[in-house]
Chain A
Amino acid sequence: MAGRGRGQLTFSVEIVGIGKGENLPPSSVQPTPLFPPLAQKPVPLQTGEEAEYMLALKQEFRGAMKTLPFYIRPAAPKKGQFGVKDELCHKHGFAYMVAESPAVPKQPKQPRVDKEEIIRKLETLEQKEEDGSSDEEEGEKKKPEEEEAEGEEGYDEEEFEDETDYIMSYFDNGDEFGGDSDDNIDEAIY
């Protein structure tokens, strides 16, 4: 059935009914529409006592099946199974179970640190008021040292608090990353 040239059809168009020189409808260059317009309106649904009763039966059955023990719901995630990540999961959803990205926000940690700092600031301010203005300068110098010491201690406490193998600094948001590698400037930084 090989045609004697590329332009020749394998059958004579007259047979199928298209006359010579007749305009064929333009070929379509896109898929048919998702909701094509209907040429005829569809027949209306059956109504009547039987149809309505069966409708009611169907909906009742569906509702009843949801209450039976056969309707299996996926199990809720158990608490404490995944350690640190579990806490994050509860707050931020399951994305953190899958992606081990270091871009975990520090919000769970910051309030605690802030609270401690605030409490200590208040205490030192109280002390200041009691001691009087003579100790102001000493107090001011002591404050940043105390805060640093407090901050480090607090940091160390956090590491051991959850009893996990994860180092808390792992979850830093990478702000300190660029600052550490000043030694090897000749290596390309990607």
Chain B
Amino acid sequence: MTAQEVRLCGLLLQEHFGNVVEKVGTHLIRSGVLTLRALAHETKLPLDLVKKSLCVLVQHGMCTFGAGRRGPAGPVEYRINCERVFHMLRYPRYIYTAKSLYGDTGELIVEEILQRGQMTMSSTVKTVADRLTHNMPEGQSMDYSEVVSAFSQLVETHFLQRCPLASAGSSSSGAVDTPLPVATQNFLVINSYDIYSTLSQGKRRRSSEDGEADQCAAKKARTDDSECGDDRIYWQVNFQRFHLHFRDQAIISAVSCKLDQSSSEIVRTMLRMSEVTTPAHAAFTQALSANEIFRALLSSYNIARPILDQYLSLLVDDPMEFVGKTGDSGGGMYVVNLHRALANLARATLESVVQERFGSRSARIFRLLLRKRHLEQKQVEDFAMIPAKEAKDMLYKLLSENLVQLQEIPKTPDYAPSRTFYLYTVNQLPTARLLLQHSYKTVGNLMERRLYETKENKRLLEKSQRIEAILASLQATGAEAAQLTEVEEMITVPERQQLESLRHHINKLDSSENQVDETIFLLKSYINSTQASR
């Protein structure tokens, strides 16, 4: 864990779970694995607080535990999963995606499960239905079956998955305490106890397996009608599935920017067809024939067969290499090159960063070096068509920022300086890692600034909250307009302006965090894809 990653984890834990959990979590990240007793001793917190913090972290899937170094007989050791902590930055994006795919119901389901880490289906359905009913006009109420169908859809498309069967799962706060009324007993209960017990005995807790188990269980237990006996079945969000969805979205939008809308629709169709057949870390999708693609294309796109062939050949010839041709049967076999697309997207991100920070001429040098790999100083000046002095200046600036590296190639074994080539080069993967760390630092800085702004104006914020509470209570009890204006005037005009500018700053900082997270996602996906292919 790098220092910036640890700092960001600490800030995220503090924001969502408080200082105690932050202290426990940060210490555990720094130490690697620890037993409960060692953790309590080193953080000097009371044992029950440490236990509560660990419970919270396990509930949200951020902490895993297992047999320690002394084997199954010794004390249990705990370890933090940092990637999971970073996902907290992306929660708004997950919720928004669920909304765009499954409407308000899906949005609320995902939001509830993200807030609580793990939940049973019955409690989720109940909470979401209550929330929706609360927001509806008087007299209407949300039907439980609609929520249940949205939930099942999320499970079927693998956006939600079962939690692995562990003793930690039963101690969550999502357990249903009171029995639900009769009207709700018709909902779908995944009757997969038998299937699940045989699977979990294999001791493999990979959640992809659980997702598949529920896929077949959902097909079987369609009309099973029992009481809400799903007390031990907990559901969590399947982040990997969301990430695949984001990756597909990024590829489709890149194609639509580079080429046009119709080609992006074709790529969207290809990706949709290979959603279930492509494993998570595959380099390309399953090969699809042009005939299949034509049949799967929605009629609303209005693309004729010869046009489709032209578009496909255009996509194949494009230098970005999103789509590749792997054969000629069935009118041509086409695949989407996922890893290559990710690499190209990461490269575009790097180029964009250099352009925005150093100017378009430095970006030209950077792109040149990416394409031509190794160039001498003189060659850089010639190819980039930039005067020598300025090219030198820009190269040195990029070199000092570590975006460009110098490679020595000796002509003689004694590395004599007059007889050595000095070549400038850019390596995409290390540069991507560097920018990823910069992004983590950026988000950390944004969060700290937001906390600072909030702390500086704490008094003012509390005052405005109190006044709002007073106003709300007055309005509820039906006060006169004169009283309301009197209360409103308790905040002076300069204070109002200060509050307004504070809100503006905080909104800007929050928005920036969301957008830096998009860069983090792209770079991390690229780095993961290079590791997977090794």
Contact = CB atoms under 8 A, between A and B. Distances in A.
A74 interface: yes
A15 B514 contact: no
Interface residues of A, number: 34
Contact of A54 (B49, B96, B422): B96
Residues of B in contact with A, size category? 35 or more
Interface string B104-117: 00000001001111
A8 to B, nearest CB: 10
A39 B401 CA distance: 14
A177 interface: no
Interface stretch (A55-63, A102-110, A146-154, A156-164): A55-63
A190 interface: no
Contacts of B415: 1
B299 to A, nearest CB: 28
Contact of A72 (B21, B117, B512): B21
B17 interface: yes
Interface stretch (B87-95, B199-207, B326-334, B524-532): B87-95
A64 B95 CA distance: 14
Contacts, number: 102
A55 B116 contact: no
Interface string A106-124: 0000000000000000000
Given A55-B514, A74-B49, A75-B46, A11 B417 contact: yes
Nearest to A56: B92
Given A1-B415, A11-B422, A72 B20 contact: yes
Nearest to B93: A54
Contact of B417 (A9, A17, A62, A68): A9
Interface stretch (B135-143, B148-156, B213-221, B356-364): B356-364
Interface of B: 15-21, 46, 49, 52-53, 56, 59-60, 91-93, 95-96, 111, 114-117, 173, 356-359, 377, 388, 392, 414-415, 417-418, 420, 422, 507-508, 510-515
Given A12-B418, A71-B17, 13 more contacts: A15-B420, A39-B358, A54-B93, A57-B92, A62-B16, A64-B115, A68-B115, A70-B21, A73-B18, A73-B19, A74-B19, A74-B20, A75-B46
The 9 closest A-B pairs by CB, nearest first: A11-B417, A57-B92, A54-B92, A58-B92, A12-B417, A72-B20, A65-B16, A71-B18, A17-B392
